[in-house]
Structure 1
Amino acid sequence: MTYQLESRGPGVGVAATWSAGFVGLLWVFEIADAALGLRLDDEGIRPGSTDGLSGILFAPLLHGGFGHLISNTVPLLVLGFIVLLSGVSRWLVLTLIVWIVGGAGTWLFGGAGTVHIGASGLVFGWLAYLILRGFFTRHPWQIVVGVVVFLVYGGALWGVLPGQPGISWQGHMFGAVGGGLAAWWLADRGPRAVASFGR
């Protein structure tokens, strides 16, 4: 099966619906986690542990309480919406790359005996993508968007550095690496890029 990334965005309504729908899914998971006595949090990434590999799939869906999720909600809505204006399939491919690269990097380099959860790796991945994509595509409007996003959210990039207890800087850093790789990879294939996912 051949899958083509959209060359035109899906429109504001569709972008807003997908962005809100994804964040709504995270809230459903957190409500379920609270109802289960926070047992789902144990399914996060456990660095260096074979059992912890499955956390790569689940960690972005889980949060350490509603405060943690609330802090991620607005940037997820805003950055996700901006990415979705370029197309749902582009958002899906970008998110998949950030999800895997961020999770794998955290599993490889996270501290022993720790558990990593939260969608902030996606926030950093989408942020890095939006800041960098214009420099790869050389599209003037994308450069402008990147500059604006950097001015608004660029300060958050300090979160890729170690030092704050309880914060997964590894998830932040490798999420941002995934976003940067996606900015390069998707730009290299142009707006009509075709990705083959097989049948």
Structure 2
Amino acid sequence: MSLRLVKRFQVIAALAAVMVGVQLVNMLTANSLLYHGIIPRTTYGLQGIVFAPFLHGSVGHLVSNLPAFVVLSWLVSSEGLGRYVRVFILIAGLGGFLVWLVGRPSIHVGASGLIFGLWTYVLTRAWFQRSLLSLLIAAIALAAYGGLIFGFLPVPGVSFESHIMGAIAGMLASWLMHSRRLVSGSA
């Protein structure tokens, strides 16, 4: 296995391990960490932009997010670890800020906004790159996770705002990193 593949695996595994570790601490503290999620339009809730992707309301919530997070992270990291880290930060930061700006007055936690962002990044990356590899990766993501589209619908107890804002952030990240107009500098 090449060193690049090992590094990609280590970073993604480390992020997943942080999510698991945070959930263990959260369970041991009667879910006290959830108050560090995104609380829209409050100064205190801004911290959630950083913490929300790593916080989950329950073990079931975490278990439902982890596989998609790992697979989509792996697909995004096919462009390299540096690109993956930039995409991760941009989606988590912008998506989280948008949730803070427009979300319902509730506590928003979970990696699903990040998952929706990674998913839409992979799909829109294919549009901008128009390479056989990016189209193949997008087809895999669409086949495996096409059901995410239903996550845009309001469901009680689910932050569909995180799903929508994460998806918007993923599309914007793809546009920023792959638009030929931006890359070539042409108008």
**Residue 142 in 1 paired to residue 134 in 2?**
yes
**Residue 86 in 1 paired to residue 79 in 2?**
yes
Structure 2 CA distance, aligned partners of 1:182 and 1:48?
24
CA-atom RMSD, angstroms?
2.0
Question: 2:159 matched to which residue of 1?
Answer: 168
* Cα drift, residue 58 of structure 1: 1.0
Question: 2:95 matched to which residue of 1?
Answer: 102
* Cα drift, residue 10 of structure 1: 6.3
Number of residue pairs the alignment of both structures matches? 182
Structure 2 CA distance, aligned partners of 1:18 and 1:41?
24
For residues 20-45 of structure 1, give each alpha carbon's deviation from its aligned partner in whole angstroms, at most 9, with x where no partner exists. Answer: 11101110111111122211111111
Question: 1:159 matched to which residue of 2?
Answer: 151
Report if the CA contact (8 A) 2:36-2:47 is conserved: yes
For residues 90-141 of structure 1, give each alpha carbon's deviation from its aligned partner in whole angstroms, at most 9, with x where no partner exists. Answer: 11110111111211111111112x1000011111000001111011012121
Structure with bigger helix share is: 2
TM-score normalised per structure 2: 0.91
Ranges in structure 2 where 5+ consecutive residues have no aligned partner: none
* Cα drift, residue 11 of structure 1: 3.5
Ranges in structure 1 where 5+ consecutive residues have no aligned partner: 1-8, 194-199
Secondary structure of the residue aligned to 1:85 is helix
Structure 2 CA distance, aligned partners of 1:22 and 1:103?
17
Amino acid at match of 2:5: V
Question: 1:122 matched to which residue of 2?
Answer: 114
Question: 1:4 matched to which residue of 2?
Answer: none
* Cα drift, residue 184 of structure 1: 1.0
* Cα drift, residue 12 of structure 1: 2.9
Amino acid at match of 2:94: V
Amino acid at match of 2:157: G
Structure 2 CA distance, aligned partners of 1:156 and 1:72?
12
Structure 2 CA distance, aligned partners of 1:76 and 1:52?
24
* Cα drift, residue 189 of structure 1: 6.8
TM-score normalised per structure 1: 0.86
- Calculate percent identity across the aligned residue pairs: 33
Report if the CA contact (8 A) 1:15-1:88 is conserved: yes
